[in-house]
Structure 1
Amino acid sequence: MKRVENKVALVTGGASGIGLSAATLLAKEGAKVVIADYNIEGAKEVAETLVKEGYEASAVFLDAGDAKTIEAAVEFTVEKYGTITVLYNNVGGTSLRKDLDVVNMDLDEFDRLVNMNLKSVLLGSRYAIPHMQKAGGGSIINTASMAGFASDQIRTAYGATKAGVVNMTKYIATQYGKDNIRCNAIAPGLILTPAAKANIPQPMLDIFMKFNALPYHGEADDIGHAVVFLASDESKFMTGQTLQIEGGHYLANPTIADTNNWVAEQQAKA
């Protein structure tokens, strides 16, 4: 089934992880896809693989901290395929060594993350919206994070910028809905991308699992499938929303896992 046939999608951060999943699934569901990434060689490799499999895909360089490259990626998409009807603003990041608590964080890192995580969403949308208006509509999808809803000991700038993505999503949806342009966001929890698998030690994964409602962690395709849904006409009456895809990790009273363990211990003693 071609759920996004005849749509033209620009996926930022599409060379790996969640972006790679989204780009691949969009292409397989019929979209013409442009993979934009700082890792241009990786983006080209993804595009070449998709083309060999019979799909339409291209690659372009994008630095989420550089407005000119964001504008250039949108213009490349329009020149290549005639329009842009889907924009997936997916680039984001943090530094666990610099993005610390409020007193100790590196302020230059704060500025860098505002540009990368939040301003890039504004700019991508700013440059894509006029083309979507000409096309009669479109779908903008933003990667937020559960860090935008729940605080932590560190990653202060990351959480603040992702909360900004959630609210900016609502503003875009409100301002351009009458142009048939929808804007929604996805807030992933812990997703086992290759980067996560390589950098998160097993004891930490076990701690996360303890608080999941579901008995497993998320995979990149869990987000990629949601991107296809939001890009497709299946979600045509949905805008301004943030889908929390996090395995129920933030669902319950935070004491429930420890409470269940305590009850089990008491029952074992009885």
Structure 2
Amino acid sequence: MERFKGKVAVVTGAGAGIGKACALAIAREGGRVVVADIDGPAAIACTAQIAAEAGQALAVAMDIADAQAVAELFKTAKRRFGGVDVLVNNASAMHLTPHDRAILDLDVAVWDQTMATNLRGTLLCCRQAIPQMIGRGGGAIVNMSSCQGLSGDTALTSYAASKAAMNMLSASLATQYGHAKIRCNAVAPGLVMTERLFAKLDECMQRHLHRHQLLPHVGRPEDVAALVAFLLSEEAAFITGQVVCIDGGMLAHVPTYADGGSSAARPAGDAAEAAAASHW
């Protein structure tokens, strides 16, 4: 398929993980991609992989919390490729999550920095992209939310709040610019095993999270990228203003599922492991 032939995409946080998978998916279907990431070498490595597959891409090292840097990113996209048709707002302040604690233990600076990147940065990118999309007859935006933005947790207060707000930002954008043929949706991943996450989670914690899913495997960045590519494409021309979960069923079940209900569906050999995991 060449769903993005003739299209120009900006993907933020595209140096690794889900963002990189999205950039590659769009490029493989004919799109020209501006690969933006705060990690310049990672962005360059992503563009090199796209070029090796005969795609077209441009690496830009920038911080989406910086309004001037965001403005320059979209000026560069227009100067190099003529304008922007699709946008993936994937960049997120993941380096702050180890310090993102419960409300009374939370450093307000962590809250402010998280909002500056996750929410304000997404807003800044949308504000720059929308005029270019209007000038090109419309466009599509996907904002990378999270299941954390749809349910409470014992920590990640700032991250969760930023993602919940992103869901409403997406609905607002869809409402305000649908008449200009601009669609906007949010994607909410669950447990997606990126290289960075794999390095952070020990085996016990992976098992603890995994048992809350309905499917017997963890998500991959490519799974999310496939959904993003669909939502950006003309195949999803009548879908806008939605929050689409891609979580292996993590939010679909009753709270007691992981404590006992799921064990009936497990192979007999996993019974001991399930019992041990229930005491995490």
> What TM-score does the superposition give when structure 1 sets the normalisation length?
0.95
Residue 262 (structure 1) shift: 7.9
Change (3 A) 1:82 1:202: same
* 1:51 alignment partner in structure 2: 51
Question: Cα deviations across residues 225-253 of structure 1 (Å, max 9, x unaligned)?
Answer: 11111111000100000110000011110
Partners of 2:70 and 2:45 in 1: how far apart?
A: 20
SS where residue 14 of structure 2 aligns?
coil
5 Å-filtered alignment, 1:1-270, equals: 1-94=1-94, 95-260=96-261
Partners of 1:4 and 1:261 in 2: how far apart?
A: 41
* 1:268 alignment partner in structure 2: none
Partners of 1:257 and 1:109 in 2: how far apart?
A: 32
SS where residue 36 of structure 2 aligns?
strand
SS where residue 142 of structure 2 aligns?
strand
Partners of 1:96 and 1:234 in 2: how far apart?
A: 35
Which residues of structure 2 form unaligned runs of 5+? Answer: 265-273, 276-280
Question: Cα deviations across residues 41-93 of structure 1 (Å, max 9, x unaligned)?
Answer: 11112112211321111111220221111111111111110010001000113
Which residues of structure 1 form unaligned runs of 5+? Answer: 266-270
Please tell me the residue identity of whatever aligns with 2:70. I
Please tell me the residue identity of whatever aligns with 2:46. V
Answer yes or no: is the 8 Å Cα contact 1:18–1:193 preserved in 2.
yes
Runs of 4+ in 1 over 3 A off after TM superposition: 261-265
Answer yes or no: is the 8 Å Cα contact 2:119–2:166 preserved in 1.
yes
Answer yes or no: is the 8 Å Cα contact 1:185–1:242 preserved in 2.
yes
Partners of 1:205 and 1:89 in 2: how far apart?
A: 27
Partners of 1:186 and 1:205 in 2: how far apart?
A: 22
Answer yes or no: is the 8 Å Cα contact 1:93–1:117 preserved in 2.
yes
Partners of 2:181 and 2:203 in 1: how far apart?
A: 45
Question: Cα deviations across residues 122-142 of structure 1 (Å, max 9, x unaligned)?
Answer: 100001100100000000110
Answer yes or no: is the 8 Å Cα contact 1:14–1:36 preserved in 2.
yes
Partners of 2:28 and 2:242 in 1: how far apart?
A: 25
Partners of 1:96 and 1:59 in 2: how far apart?
A: 26
Please tell me the residue identity of whatever aligns with 1:234. E
Partners of 2:261 and 2:144 in 1: how far apart?
A: 33
Answer yes or no: is the 8 Å Cα contact 2:97–2:159 preserved in 1.
no
Question: Cα deviations across residues 11-68 of structure 1 (Å, max 9, x unaligned)?
Answer: 0000100000000010001101110001111111211221132111111122022111
Answer yes or no: is the 8 Å Cα contact 2:13–2:19 preserved in 1.
yes
Please tell me the residue identity of whatever aligns with 2:15. A
Answer yes or no: is the 8 Å Cα contact 1:133–1:179 preserved in 2.
yes
Answer yes or no: is the 8 Å Cα contact 1:118–1:162 preserved in 2.
yes
Change (3 A) 1:262 1:22: closer
> What TM-score does the superposition give when structure 2 sets the normalisation length?
0.92
Answer yes or no: is the 8 Å Cα contact 1:61–1:69 preserved in 2.
no
SS where residue 226 of structure 1 aligns?
helix
The more displaced of 249-258 and 94-103 is 94-103
Identity of aligned residues (%): 36
Answer yes or no: is the 8 Å Cα contact 2:4–2:233 preserved in 1.
yes
